[in-house]
Amino acid sequence: MAKPVVPAVHESREQDLRDSEDTHDDEDEVWTQSLSLDAPPARKGMRQRWVRFYVGGREDHNNISRKFKDGWKPREAATVPKNFSAPIIEAGRFAGFIGVHGAVLCEIPEKRAQAREKYYSNLTRARTEALESQLQRVGQVAGGKGFGPIVSEKKSTLVREVKVAQDEE
């Protein structure tokens, strides 16, 4: 039995033209993963951060109250540049503010943030010095027959770095 002859399938001229068109003219564009916590640029003289106010189906009153006492205030959606599409909380305590996934964007004046950093830096230094002093005393207990001098090695490692663009007002 002879096989039937099947004519070769030819693409139409229209298909040839479509195939030759450059349909992806933005291939040189660099893609970055969008973040669910994208934030608008900070306003001049301010720092900002996301503060959790809702977790596990309930408001986290302790966390938000602590941050407010430190000087953080929610950022209103009206303060965002028109070219930035910020997520706005539609209902509840933080309606009209920028927020997403149980967090509200808060800001603090730069001077207050620096004063807060200085306070915690001094507190950390004082605690570290007290701890080192106690370690040295423990090393010399029982008339010098303790462990001997204790040597501590300190190393700092940058875990992550976040750069937030400053708003040019």
Which residues are CB-neighbours of 45 under 8 A, at least 6 positions away? 109, 110
- Please report, for residues 115, 119, 121, the alpha-carbon distance to residue 45 in angstroms, rounded to integers and kept in the order given: 14, 20, 21
How far is the C-alpha of 52 from the C-alpha of 86, rounded, in Å?
Answer: 17
pLDDT above 70: residue 131: yes
Contacts of 23 (CB under 8 A, 6+ apart): none
Which token pair is 1? Answer: 């039995």
Residue 32 lies in a domain: no
Q: Is residue 108 part of a domain?
A: yes
Residue 146 CA from chain centroid, whole number: 47
What pLDDT is attached to residue 67?
A: 93
Per-residue pLDDT, 51: 92
pLDDT in tens, 77-127: 888 888 888 888 888 888 889 888 889 999 999 999 999 999 999 999 999
| Domain extent for 120 | 46-140
> Of the ranges 20-24, 59-63, 116-120, 158-162, which one carries the lowest mean pLDDT score?
20-24
In a domain, 51, yes or no: yes
Q: Give the pLDDT of residue 115.
A: 93
pLDDT at 21 over 70: no
Q: Cα 59 to the chain's mean position, in Å?
A: 21
The reply to whether 160 falls in a domain is: no
- The whole-model pTM stands at 0.59
Residue 97 lies in a domain: yes
* Count: domains in the chain: 1
> Mean pLDDT throughout 72-76?
93
User: Is pLDDT above 80 for 6?
Assistant: no
Mean pLDDT of 121-149: 77
Taking 60 as the threshold, does the pLDDT of residue 142 lie above it? no
**Backbone angles phi and psi of 157, in degrees to 5:** -130, 130
Which residues in 12-129 belong to E strands, given as ranges? 46-52, 54-55, 58-59, 73-74, 99-100, 103-109
The token pair at 40 is 């608008």
